[in-house]
Each structure stands twice: as C-alpha cells, then as structure tokens.
A and B are shown apart, each in its own frame.
Chain A
Amino acid sequence: MSPLTILLIVEASAIGLILFGAPPKKVSLVAAGANFLLSLWIYAQFPAGIGGWHFVENHPWIALGGLPEIRYHVGVDGISLPLVLLTTLVTLAAVWVAPAQIKRAAEFYSYLLLLSLGALGAFVSLDLFFFYAFHEFALIPTFLLIGIWGSENRQFVSLQLTLYLGLGSLVLLAGIIALLGVLPAEARTFDIPQLTDYLRDNPIAPGQQVLPFALLAAGFGTLVSLFPFHSWAPLGYASAPAPAAMLHAGVLKKFGLYGLLRVAMPLLPGGAETWKPWILALLLGNILFIGLTTIAQKELPAMLGFSSVMHMGYLFLGLACWNALGVSGVVFLMVAHGLSAALLFAVAGEVRERAGEIRFAELGGLARRMPFVAVAFLVGSFASVGVPGLANFPGELLIFFGSWKSQPLLTAVVVWGIVISAVYQLRAVRSVFYGDLPQHLADTMDVEGAKRIPYALLMAALLILGIWPGTLLGVVGPGVRGFLSLY
C-alpha cells in the first residue's frame, strides 16, 4: 500500500474515532502529527533530480461499457509533493491553534479533518473522478465550519460561499465532461497520466479545446477566487473561525491552481492560448483592483481575506506564461502563500480571541502585551510582502523572471503590486501591534507554552524555504520538467 493511501486512512480513521467519542482535540492532533511526520518521510525518500510519479498505487475502480474508466490511482511528483507537505503542516498547525474548549468540539474537529482530507485526497489523486470528488466533499464541512462557528454575518457569508463554490464546482464538472467529450471514445479515461500522454502524442484541434478550457478555467478560477469570481473569498475568510480559514485559504484554495496546472493547461494548450489574454486581463484585476480594495479595509480578518485574493494574481501570472521558471515559481509560491496565509489567519484568530477586537481603529500597541504574536505576524507579513529571506520571495521572483520573457510590460505593471501589498500589510502591522495601547486592551495575554509550537513550525518553514529554496526547488524543478516537458 502506498504511504499516500496511509495518509488518507489516518485522517479518515481519526474522524471515525471522534465520531465514536474519542477526545477530539487529542485524536486530531495525533493524526495530524503522524501525517506530517509521514509526509516528511515521503519527502526524504523522494528520489531527487528525476521527475515522474512515485509512491504510486493504481487499482481499477469502475469499468463499464461507455463509461470512461475510473481508477483508484494515487501518486506524487515534484508538483504535488510540496502541496502534500503544505497540507499536512497546515493541518497540524490549524488543529493545534484551535481552541480545545469550543462548543460542539467533536463536530468542529471532524469538519477540520474532513477539510484536510479533501485537500490531501485531491492533491494525491491521479484520477479526475477522485480529484474532483475529494475536493468537493470538503464543501459541506466548510459551509458548516463558517455557519456554526463563524463570526460576524456568518449565516449570509457561509451560504454565499457555498453557492459560489458549488456553482464553480459544477462548472468544473461540466468542463471535465466536456474535456472527455472531445476525445475519441477509446481514449476517454479519468486517468490523468494516461490523458496527458495521449494528448501529448495526439493533440486535438485547437478549436475544439476552446469550450472545455473555458469551462475548466471558469470552474477552477472561481475556486481560486480569480477576479471577478472572487467575492466569496474575503468575506468568507473574514468570518470563518481561524483554523478553518487557515486550512481553506492556505490549502484547499490551492486546488484550483493545482487543477489548472495539472489538468486544464497541459491537456488543453490550444484552449489556454486562446483564453490567455483574458486570464492576463483578469489577473490584473486581482492584483491592482483587489490590491487597492485591500488597502481600504478597516478590519484585520477582512484585510487578510482580500490580500489572499490579491496574491492569487501572481500565481495566475506564472501559470498564464507557462514556462519552466514561471511554473516552478507557481508551485513554490503556492506553498509559500499557504504557509504565510495560515500564519496570518492564525494570528488574526488570536487577536480576535484575546483582544476581542478586530477593527484597526480600535487596536494598537499589542506588541507590548503579546510580543510572540507580534513576531509571528511580522514574519507572516514580511513573507506575504515578499521580503528576501522568507519563502514567498523566491516564488515571486521565479514567476516574474518567467513572465518577463513573454510579458515584459504586464510584469512591469504587476511588480507594483508588491508596493501595494507592502502598504496594507505594514499598515496592519503598525495599527495592530504598535502605537498607543488602548485602555481596553491593557490586559491582553500573549500565547504561551506549547501553543507557540504551531506558530514556530510555520515560521520555521517560511524561513527554511526562504533561505534554502533549493530544498523544495530540487523536487519541484524536475517534477515540472518531467510532467510538463517544459525545459
């Protein structure tokens, strides 16, 4: 059995144990910890320098005349392994920062684990059916997490988010069906590697690729909050409980990008070429329009929500330019953004919980009361802005190098996004942690003891990847080369 299957089984059995009355936080923590260690082991065992699929498990699942074959096919390459690592690390951190004393704790932790299971399953699946199904079943836990434990305006927000994501998923489903529909009957299969190989040797006419690509791009785009399909994200993340926001913004949202990278762009290059101008135009909306909207935010979680939408613009840029540098940068930045977003949302959760306040105007001077949290926020902010030495910098740099080759003008415009993000991020740092400490925050307590470990883990990961990007690029580069034949 592949260790990837074990990852899935561990989470599923943890959920089972919780349902049968085991202590939810302990069980979740043990399962998440075990999975993180296991994924580190997978990384250690992963053969460096050569591309291709590893830790593969491949069984027939459903075969029926007329139905494209469905297989249980899991495996990782240099593109998905970093995302698996990201998922297990952020899951561990999210479970750790979640309060033990929460109403309906058993449900809360089961939904968190389901969210994580959905992301893990989607990232390791090499079969479109499982790839889609794993991601979409995380929809209901997300809905419940925001609806039950969310803060302001949760009722409306959770319903809006669910409808948006549900519609996006259904458009995506139509796209998958359309993709299979343009293939000749004997080549139809849900198996991603088979599809990739087949389409590499027998490309279909570009005209036929236009519709399936449009559906896939709209579906995946909605799931990653591509402008103008983004409005579910900022409000949703602002309202979600911190662990849910960490897992969704940090991990699950990457599914859309991963899908574009794994399915839409390589299988339908002609369609991608046709729609490229549109994607380039829309990503400007993400970076500039949403960037400026972020500056105008008056509350910490909402600002983080918008900023996480904005950063998707860079990732779209790397994908749209579709060369080895840019795509490697995309994989790297997905991980980096996942880590920094998780860290920032965790801090926002602590501020909301401990200070009881999220409005910038009412916050200030908290660095004196909670120095550790302030450091964590500072590290997250610097990473998010793209300061060298932290993980986001190499990712963004690679994307800009990649896009410079084909889109110098656009790249020159987009780079200014960094200034925008520096403005809102540093402003947030100042207005939350520096300045005068208002009277009502005078007895705010810092995070103490073992509760610091998840923050430390995320910060350490950001630093390690920032200082030695080679640790991950050694895996990503050959993976991108192997899967996409881009070099």
Chain B
Amino acid sequence: MQEGLWILGAPEVTLAVGGVLLLLAESVAKLQSRAVGVLVLGVYLIAGLCMLPFATTGAVLWGGIYTWDRFAVSGKAFFLLTGMLVTYLSLEGEGKIPAARAEFYILPLFCTAGMALLCSVRDFVLLFVALELVTITLLILVAYRRADAASLEAGVKYLIVGGLATAFLVMGIAYLFGATGSTQFDEVARYAESEGVGPVLLLGLAFLLVGLGFKAAAVPFHIWAPDVYQGAPTPITAYLSVGSKAAGFVVLLRVLLLPFWNSAFQRHWVPLIGLLAALSVVLGNLAALPQRNVKRLLGYSSISHAGFLLIGLASHSFLGFASMLYYILAYLVATFTAFLVLVLLEQDKEGKTITDLSGLVQRSPLLAWSMALAMVSLAGIPPLMGFFGKLLVFLAAWQSGLHVLVFIGVAAAAAGIYYYVSVVRAMFWSDPVHQGPIVLHPATRGLLVVLNVGSILFGFYAKPILALAAGAVAGIGG
C-alpha cells in the first residue's frame, strides 16, 4: 500500500468521512433516525470492502508513525465487526432509548475510526490522539440518556476516571519523550537497546500501563466498569465491553511488542502484567457472584475476562499472543449474543435482573438458548469458543513457567461457573415472571443463529480463527 492509496483503503478514513457526511446530511434533510442507522451499517460495509484489496499488503507510512500490517488489518476488521454489531443492537433497542436521534448511530462511526487507527499506531502521539477519539465519543454515548440519572452518573464516572487515566497516559508519554527524545516506537526501542533501561523509561512504561489498564478494565483500574456498564444504554455497554477492551489490548500488544520488547523491559512488565491478571480474574469472578443485575454481572465478568486476556499477555510468547486474539474473538461472539438478548428483552422494560430472565425458554427458546450458549462460552465449557480460548491461554502461561497464574486462573474460572450457570438456571427452570411470547425479526433470528453456530463451530474447529490470529501476531513486528 502506498501513501496515496491509504485514503482509499484505510477504514478509519472511510468511517470518519462517512460520519461527517451523515451528520451534515442529517442536519439538512432531517432523516429518520432509523434510516440513519441503516446508512451507518452501509458505511461500515463500504469501509470493509475498501479495505479488502489491501488486506494482504504491508507498509509503514507517514514517516514511520503508521503501519499497515496483518495485525492492523485483522484489528480493523475486528473493530468494523464490533461497530456493525453495535449499530444493529442500537437499531433493535431503538424504542428503549428515548429520543435516540441520528447522532446516536453516527457517533460510533468516529469511535470505530479511532479504534481502527489504534491498530496501526507506531507513535505515541498518534496513539494518544486515537485513544482520545475513542474515549471522548464513548463518553458522549455513555451519558446519552440525559433524562436518566443512572446514565448521567455513568457518564460522570467515566469522565473522571477516564480523565485520570488519560493524565497518566500523557505523563507516561512525556517521560518516554523526555528520556529518548522521540515519540516513535522504533526510536524508543533503539534508545533502550543502546543506552539501557533506566528508571525514567520504566516510569514511563508504568504510567502507560495505568492508562491502558483503564481501557481494558483490568484490576485495579476497573472501578468505573460496573457502574458505567449498568448505567449506559445497553448497545453502548456492549461497545464498551468489547470494543473499548479490545482497543486496550490491541495497544498493549503493539506497545509491549514494539518499544518494550527488550528483555530488560520484559523483566519488569511480565510480573506486573501477571499480577494485574491474577487480581483481575480473582476480583472479577468473586465480585460477580452476588450480582443480580445482568448488565452489572456482565460488567464484573468483563473484568475477569480482561484478566484471562492478561494471562495470555503475561506469557509473552507467540502462543500467548495468538491465544489472546482468539480469546478476544470468542469474547466478542459471546458478549454480543448476551447483549443482543438483553436489548431484545428491554423493549418490554425487562431484562434488568436475572429474575427477569426467568422461564425465558418457554417464551422464546431461541433467545434462551442463545443466552445459555453465551454464558456457557464465557464460563469456558466445551465445545464453545470460550473453552478453547481458556485452554490456549492456560497452556501458553504454563509453557512460559507461570504455573501459579494458571492455578489462580483455574480457581477463578471455577468460581465463574457459578454465576454463569445461575443465569442459565433462571432461564431454563424458573417459571416466567413476564408473560407473552417474544416476536423476533427474521434478521435478528438469523444473526443469533449465526453467532451460536459460530461459537460452537469455531470452538471445536478452531483452526481457521487460530490461523488468522497467528498470522496477525506474526505481522506485528513488521
């Protein structure tokens, strides 16, 4: 890919241009908000199609601050998929969000553009810009239901904690720049290679990890997650728990594999990441046990999944990184299935607590089964994707000698079975508290079936996904 073609191929350009055009068109022509939602889906599709011809090419652009490699392409594809699913969820949940005006559909385009840009960064300033694009759009979306106190509270919490995290991130970048005189990943790596790893560099790395830990919702930077998850509109909760978390991990991979891959750095960050992983899996799973609100439960569960992903990262091996990418896709499939079910139930003001899910199987077997498979996958029971992801992560960690971390992960996963299964229990053998059958749009049925089949199929036959993940990891250095 050459610099001129970048405008055509990069989805972040397509998405941003599409977003601006839609905003303008909407302000002039007063489009129906639902129509805008459909158009947004179209923009995602176009962005994906434009990326296709360049999917196998590689380049480093803009003086070395932007890279186009297999990792970037896979990441962009992942975020396009996330964006499309979020838009679909928003369309399904339209009745639920009062005055869901067109920008509720358009804003995620900018957010996704930021995430797509993040996949390619090789420079700390560009990283900061992209990350802020993501955070600020998400902030607006979290607090979107202005009349709802919970939503506003969530917005304020996200603002304050997010601002703090940003401050740490900038501080870290400043230290790195101060020590090395450059903000480019390559320069930092080269400096560390020639001059050694000093305390200033380590301080910079530590601050950077704080900022990214917030994005990934890893303990101890997780305080915001449960409240924000519960208060935000459900499609945005799904976006936060998949998109924002994945963005955090994409950047962590880039940063730790490029500028901080030096073994002198590894000696410091591997134990640190291992510690964060252990804290996240334990606290996430234990805190989820007493939860009755499903969104809050998924909030804590997402903290624990950040922990499992960090276990893969801590194993700092090829298998560990590939397993993270597999795991995050498994997490996307299961999480979106769960949130789609919640959105569908919310149309009738339900779906808030586990009790509201009671007897779901008698009202809509498809919804109940989808939710059950999502829970079982998140719990890590075969033959679903979540199981294979956990197996890979544990295997990688064990091979890297992190035996204690594997034991902690296993114990935490066992505790996790309890709350995931209690959701299944409510759906399958409690009597319904809400009556009336649930009517599903054929497209929604199709989507649910695709998600379920994908979760089972790629759990048993993980080869294609794993090959993609391995290719992406192999591309990261280039």
Are the CB atoms of A133 and B383 closer together than 8 Å?
Answer: yes
A62-B463, A66-B396, A147-B428 given as contacts; is B417 within 8 A of A171 (CB)? no
| CB neighbours of A274 from chain B (8 A) | none
**Which stretch (A40-48, A137-145, A345-353) binds chain B?**
A137-145
| CA gap between A155 and B428 in the complex, in Å | 11
Within 8 A of A (CB), among B431-475: 460-463, 466-467, 470
Given the contacts A137-B383, A159-B421, A66 and B428 also touching, CB distance less than 8 Å = no
A218 → chain B closest CB, angstroms? 11
A178 within 8 A of B: yes
Whether B429 contacts A133 by the Cβ 8 Å rule is no
Q: Within 8 Å of chain B (Cβ to Cβ): is A148?
A: yes
Bound-complex Cα distance A139 to B387 (A): 13
Which of A66, A107, A133, A181 touches B318 (beta carbons < 8 Å)?
A66
Flag B326-353 by CB within 8 Å of A: 1 or 0 each.
0000000000000000000000000000
| Cα–Cα, bound, A147→B423 (Å) | 13
In the complex, what residues of A have CB within 8 A of residue B379's CB?
166
Given contacts A171-B410, A177-B406, contact A64 B322 (CB under 8 A): yes
Interface presence of A174 (CB below 8 A): yes
Given A67-B392, A140-B376, CB of A148 within 8 Å of CB of B410: no
Against B, the Cβ 8 Å flags (1 = close, 0 = not) of A52-71 are: 00000000011011111000
Query: Which chain A residue shows the least CB distance to B318?
Result: A66
B398-445 interface (Cβ within 8 A of A): 398-399, 403, 406-407, 410-411, 413-414, 417-418, 421-422, 424-425, 428-429
The reply to whether A66 and B394 form a contact with Cβ atoms under 8 Å apart is no
Contact present for B410 and A170 (CB under 8 Å)? yes
**Which of A64, A155, A180, A185: most chain B Cβ within 10 A?**
A64
CB pair B382 A137 closer than 8 Å: yes
Q: How far is the CB of A220 from chain B (nearest CB, A)?
A: 15
Contact A166 B463 (CB under 8 A): no
Q: In the complex, which residues of chain A have a beta carbon less than 8 angstroms from the beta carbon of B414? A: 163, 166-167, 170
- A355 close to B (CB within 8 Å): no
Output the nearest chain A residue to B422 by Cβ-Cβ distance.
A159
When chains A and B are docked, how far (Å) is the Cα of A137 from the Cα of B418?
16
B462: chain A residues at CB < 8 Å are 62
How many of chain A's residues have a CB under 8 angstroms from any CB in B? 36
A162: B residues at CB distance < 8 A = 417, 421
Instruction: Report A221 CB to chain B, min CB distance, Å.
Output: 16
Residues of B within 8 A of A143 (CB): 421, 424
Binding site secondary structure of chain A: helix
Chain B residues within an 8 Å CB radius of A155:
425, 429
Cα–Cα distance between A178 and B318 once the two chains are bound (Å):
19
User: Please, which residue of chain B has its CB at the minimum distance from the CB of A171?
Assistant: B410
Query: Quick check: B463 and A61 within 8 Å, CB to CB?
Result: yes
A408 and B322 alpha carbons, distance in the complex (Å): 53
Min CB–CB distance A107 → chain B (angstroms): 8
A68 proximity list for chain B (CB < 8 A): 395
- Tell me if A299 is interfacial: C-beta within 8 Å of chain B: no
Q: Is the CB of B418 within 8 A of A174?
A: no
A177 near B394 with CB under 8 A, answer yes
Q: Are A148's CB and B429's CB within 8 A?
A: yes
Contacts of B383 in A (CB 8 A): 133, 137
**Nearest residue, chain A, Cβ from B464:** A62
Specify which chain B residues have a CB less than 8 angstroms from the CB of A171 in the assembled complex. 410
A181 close to B466 (CB less than 8 A): no
A181 pairs with B399, CB closer than 8 A: yes
Whether, in the assembled complex, B36 has its beta carbon less than 8 Å from a beta carbon of chain A, the answer is no
Residues from chain A with Cβ under 8 Å of B463 in the complex:
61-62
B381 on the A face (CB < 8 A): yes
Residues of B within 8 A of A67 (CB): 319, 392, 395, 466
B391 within 8 A of A: yes
The minimal Cβ–Cβ distance linking B375 to chain A, given in whole angstroms, is 10
Q: Does B317 contact A (CB under 8 A)?
A: yes
| Contact pick for A163, options B319, B417, B466, B467, CB 8 Å | B417
Contacts of A181 in B (CB 8 A): 398-399, 403
Complex alpha-carbon distance, A181 and B406, angstroms: 12
Q: Besides the contacts A67-B392, A140-B381, A159-B425, what 20 more A-B pairs have beta carbons closer than 8 Å? A: A62-B462, A64-B467, A66-B399, A67-B395, A107-B361, A129-B391, A134-B382, A136-B381, A136-B382, A136-B387, A140-B372, A147-B428, A159-B421, A163-B414, A163-B418, A166-B421, A173-B391, A177-B406, A178-B403, A181-B399
| 10 A–B contacts from the bound complex (CB under 8 Å) | A64-B322, A66-B396, A67-B466, A144-B424, A144-B428, A147-B428, A174-B394, A174-B407, A178-B398, A180-B398
| Chain A to chain B: the 9 pairs with minimum beta-carbon distance, closest first | A66-B319, A133-B382, A166-B417, A167-B414, A181-B398, A148-B429, A177-B398, A170-B410, A137-B382
